[in-house]
Structure 1
């Protein structure tokens, strides 16, 4: 699925920051991987590389053979729109749109016809247990329900990989466990590749594989 080779990301300003340093990493099809590490250690930067949201200063980031670091802007936008699903700590839902409308927005860049967008949005909401909340606005939903909508929005594209950045960070312990169980179920049932960044060791322990990143360097965690 992913192959990162000698990936370095350097930010320059008042001082030089090496967010990633010579990272070599492979993530196989259908793996559930948790990434942990201290604040500022490079977790979010790594996820940005995997998602094609940023390009490395040097090295290659291959997704199923395509180097995201070398794709043109149009091809990279297409890859993000069709092949990669994103879930964030802050749900990033549009407050004036219903749950179904929020999910359907993910299909607009792919130019999916409106009727098909609506159908797929309802199917995605059903897959996360929110079919009956399709017409509700985000403000009418709990935090856990809003995160389920965000997950449905990522899944509606039928992506190859799901990238989740602290998806349980705003949730209480009980709701956190519900969201993790949902992600586990999707991983098992759909064969998704999931990369999950988390500070929560209870969440990380549920993953098939654990990575630690600190000082821009990635190691396998026990």
Structure 2
């Protein structure tokens, strides 16, 4: 379960003070599928960074499963991101010179597993997203939807408790968008993950259990 209590994030930019998050208080139960919508610059990506232990609030605290992460040491946060939280991004972030399987394997490097175990886990993750037959292909040999499936496999291979997705369908056409959302929804149901998706797309957000809306750093529930 995520708990955010009175979280604010303030930046200084060109001599101006920008409040990316403004006194956000939020609970996200374990196993919930949540969509976060909002205008550009409204704070949704900043909120996701807080949930992913990628940034720290200026005020307030963030906790995961009762343990505060907003004030944790860098080493602890690295372990958390390396094992318990999986990330999926709009731009896929695949390494172009590596095969699909090798890209997935990169997520396991911090765990220092034997090479054969790392390869087996990566292949199994690719099979779980329907790409076992594309394991040897490089990103340039895959469609956009297939590249995002590789990125999802890379996030899942760590066997995380939480999957954070930042505009995961933003670069995809409508049909492929729906396929990726079908995949995420199926994995959520199958694995009992907490899935949090930042999206501008109402068609994606409507499929979530819970919809949140953020504007000018302030969060509200959306029915």
Tell me the CA shift for residue 171 of structure 1: 0.2
In 2, distance between residues paired with 1:85 and 1:172?
24
Deviations 1:79-117 (A, max 9, x none): 000000000000000000000000000000122221111
Match of 2:123 in 1: 122
Match of 1:20 in 2: 21
Match of 1:208 in 2: 209
CA RMSD of aligned residues (A): 0.6
Secondary structure, counterpart of 1:6 in structure 2: strand
Match of 2:9 in 1: 9
Count of residue pairs brought into register by the alignment:
222
Match of 1:81 in 2: 82
Deviations 1:149-179 (A, max 9, x none): 0000000000010000000000000000000
Tell me the CA shift for residue 41 of structure 1: 0.3
Deviations 1:10-48 (A, max 9, x none): 001320000001100000011000000100000000000
Secondary structure, counterpart of 2:110 in structure 1: coil
In 1, distance between residues paired with 2:74 and 2:40?
30
Deviations 1:39-71 (A, max 9, x none): 000000000000001110011110111211111
Tell me the CA shift for residue 209 of structure 1: 0.4
Match of 2:112 in 1: 111
Tell me the CA shift for residue 208 of structure 1: 0.5
Residues 131-146 of structure 1 correspond to what in structure 2 (within 5 A)?
Answer: 131-146=132-147
Match of 1:71 in 2: 72
Asked whether 1:33 is paired with 2:47, we answer: no
In 1, distance between residues paired with 2:218 and 2:74?
27
Match of 1:154 in 2: 155
State TM-score, norm by structure 1.
0.99
In 2, distance between residues paired with 1:116 and 1:219?
44
In 1, distance between residues paired with 2:179 and 2:49?
26
In 2, distance between residues paired with 1:68 and 1:154?
20
Any runs of at least 4 consecutive aligned residues in structure 1 with deviations exceeding 3 A, and if so which?
Answer: none
Which residues of structure 1 form unaligned runs of 5+? none
In 2, distance between residues paired with 1:80 and 1:159?
9
